[in-house]
Amino acid sequence: MDLFAPVSLGDLQLANRVVMAPLTRLRSGDAGVPGELVADHYAQRASVGLIITEGTFPNAESRAYPGQPGIVTDEQVEGWRRVAEAVHARGGRIVMQVMHSGRVSHPDINGVGRIVAPSAIAIDGAVRTPTGTHPFPVPHALTTDEARATLADFVAAAERAVAAGLDGVEIHGANGYLLHEFLSPASNQRDDVYGGSPENRARFVVEVATAVAGAIGAGRVGIRISPEHNIQGVLETDPDDVRATYDALVDGLRPLGLAYLSVLHKEPSGELVQDLRRRFDGPLIANSGFSSPTTRDEAVRLIGEAHAEAVAVGRLVIANPDLVERWAGEHPENAPNPATFYAAGAEGYTDYPTLAAGRN
């Protein structure tokens, strides 16, 4: 397989196999409305095979960060419509990552007054808020009925995203946020249908995916997971439990016929990820994780050796809006500036130069 060849992920037709990973950038203001700057940022990167947006909150209490966009209000929907139109005008494809933060937040951020999670267990650490740095609060443990109401919010968010013109959604089940919290025995100590056994801990994630697929069509729905990515207090340190939990999860997802499974793991060609891929029996987007940027050589190898159908790339897509052209021609790359990743404004967001600009 060739990194620069077209591929189909469910109903999503990609011009190449380079995928823009979901990247928190915090440029959507207090109201969570993506504006023209956000539209420009994504449109600049429309030459990747697929853009996956930054994590977007499906209800008010699920907001994790100041400046994070939402998909709750009419204004947010219209903001995303402008983004989708800008990307499509340049021939790109874009799906929205729907992300519930769970306990990775604070009332001073979401403005709701409570934080929710599978169990009333706080993250050991501190969170930066508009009023300063505070300890992570002890979250409210969702009741069974509240969990199902949250599921309905995921569905409504997916419907709004498609109504805004995006090509589909990615369900965020990774990186220590709500759905990942349900999967891990460190953060999920429930004794109802959503807790205890690996099968029960996987149940809520499967139910969310099933409901979203039923609402907008499975061919437009992907899901992201990050087994063994111990982050934000979500610990998965028992290999046998990891296997049992993620086997149960993928067994529940397989019959749905989702567009793709995206796996964040330090060894995308290793036994765990490849076993999950076979069990899923559908397209895999590989992502080698946070430890180091995904390089051209790694991406070419993963596709060339048939370890994945596509590769998610983060930092180098931030710094190189024309990364596909650069990689295809083996041109030099811009270096990303981490100091501007979570800042505000155009610097480090829409001002990275393209090859074409250098030729002028």
Task: Cite the active site residues.
Answer: 177
Structure tokens at 8: 């189909």
Which whole-number Å values give the CA distances from 349 to 78, 232, 312, 323, 336, in the listed order?
Answer: 21, 26, 19, 15, 10
Cβ neighbours of 138 (radius 10 Å): 14
Using N-to-C axis directions, what is the helix angle for 271-280 and 239-253, rounded to 10°? Answer: 20
> Which residue, 183, 186, 308, 192, is CA-closest to 248?
183
| Identity of the amino acid at 284 | L
| CA angle (86, 87, 91) in 5-degree steps | 120
Specify the DSSP element, H or E, that contains 260. strand 260-264
Whole-number Å distance between alpha carbons of 213 and 73: 22
Whole-number Å distance between alpha carbons of 34 and 80: 6
Query: In 25-73, where do the E strands start and end?
Result: 50-52
